[in-house]
Structure 1
């Protein structure tokens, strides 16, 4: 499936941005313009079941395949967050970016996948008060974006999570030079796995104090964590 995309900038280097579940390209509202200012043509996708992209069969394979079908080959940079980091890891060999950045990747849910699916489905009817309570560090514009992207999201994507995570999605090795940027609190990657990722060849950095959507909790800290990679 060819996905809906949004572009920023006209640089010769290409950067692609891949969001997490319940979100779409609008989540990158601060990251994308900065990359464009640094000389990139930035392409943000809406994953299948999100934003203005089509609906259909959901799962790890389709989410990854759609990236390969939609995005240009060999971009300079590919950044994926959460579910988007999982899809990027599955597509990275075919997409062949020069560098990949995985932001608090959803590579392992294991036995939590069923409860996570129910939790995400419940968020279809979330209120502004709840979003603000969960994310006290967000700017109001990010709360606005979250409400808008959830409204445009197909909650049926959550039902695909148990099958998606019936097996480990943690890459055995980085196919291209790869950075993993982890939240400082409540990261999806436990501290014990940080050393294993380093052993496998990933560079790992944390954004202290930031939660799962680290680029919205601490934008400056997130961009600092990307030093040398963008």
Structure 2
């Protein structure tokens, strides 16, 4: 499936941004323009079941196939957050970006036994609930979360349960790869971070930042990309 996209900038270098579950390209409202200011043409996708993209069957492999159908291969930079990090890892050999960044990736989310109902229930979250859960977010990010939840297909949460509940942590980086970890990260234990380093990933922890690092501490998120963008 070809996905809906949003672009920022007109630079010669290309960057791809892949959001997490329940979100869409609007989560990158500050990252997209910031990369454009650095000379990138930035492509933000809406994954299947999110934003303005189509609906259908869901699995991590399907999300990855959609990325391959939508964005050009050989871009300079690809960043995937959470579910987007899982999809990017499954597509990265085919997309072959020069550099990949996995921001608090949900590689083992299904294998961890997370109940999809947790996500489905959150679709009804009020603005107050979102604000209380994310006290460091700007008001505009809360606005985006409310809007993206309204468009999100909750059936996407089934895409990593049941037969799809597998650990998809990469055995090794297919391209030079940075893993950003929240602090603390509920997806990346200290043991796993050490293991990822041994596998050849660079791992950087963004001190004090929550799971959606780029919204919790935008400046620290960008700072942690030093040398990668």
Q: TM-score, normalised by structure 2?
A: 0.97
The Cα RMSD (Å) is 1.1
Contact 1:102–1:178 (8 Å) recurs in 2? yes
Matched, 1:170 2:169: yes
Matched, 1:153 2:152: yes
What residue is the counterpart of 1:219 in the other structure?
Answer: 218
What residue is the counterpart of 1:99 in the other structure?
Answer: 99
Where 2:161 maps in the other structure, the secondary structure is helix
Cα offset, 1:166, TM superposition:
2.3
Contact 1:46–1:53 (8 Å) recurs in 2? yes
Distance 1:173 1:112, change over 3 A: closer
Which digits, 9 at most, give the CA deviation of each residue in 1:184-222, with x for residues without a partner? Answer: 124311111011000000000010000100111111111
What residue is the counterpart of 2:202 in the other structure?
Answer: 203
Which aligned pairs between 1:21-100 and structure 2 lie closer than 5 A? Answer: 21-100=21-100
Contact 1:131–1:143 (8 Å) recurs in 2? yes
Distance 1:164 1:133, change over 3 A: farther
Q: Distance in 1 between matches of 2:184 and 2:205?
A: 9
Which digits, 9 at most, give the CA deviation of each residue in 1:61-103, with x for residues without a partner? Answer: 1100000000011000000000000000000000000000000
Structure 1 residues not aligned, in runs of 5+: none
Q: Give the number of equivalent residue pairs.
A: 229
Contact 1:187–1:211 (8 Å) recurs in 2? no
Which digits, 9 at most, give the CA deviation of each residue in 1:19-77, with x for residues without a partner? Answer: 00000000000101000000000000000000000000100111000000000110000
Structure 2 residues not aligned, in runs of 5+: none
Contact 2:111–2:166 (8 Å) recurs in 1? no
What residue is the counterpart of 1:12 in the other structure?
Answer: 12
Q: TM-score, normalised by structure 1?
A: 0.97
Which digits, 9 at most, give the CA deviation of each residue in 1:5-28, with x for residues without a partner? Answer: 000000010000000000000000
Which aligned pairs between 1:119-198 and structure 2 lie closer than 5 A? Answer: 119-163=118-162, 165-198=164-197
Cα offset, 1:164, TM superposition:
6.6
Q: Distance in 2 between matches of 1:124 and 1:187?
A: 20
Q: Distance in 2 between matches of 1:35 and 1:164?
A: 37
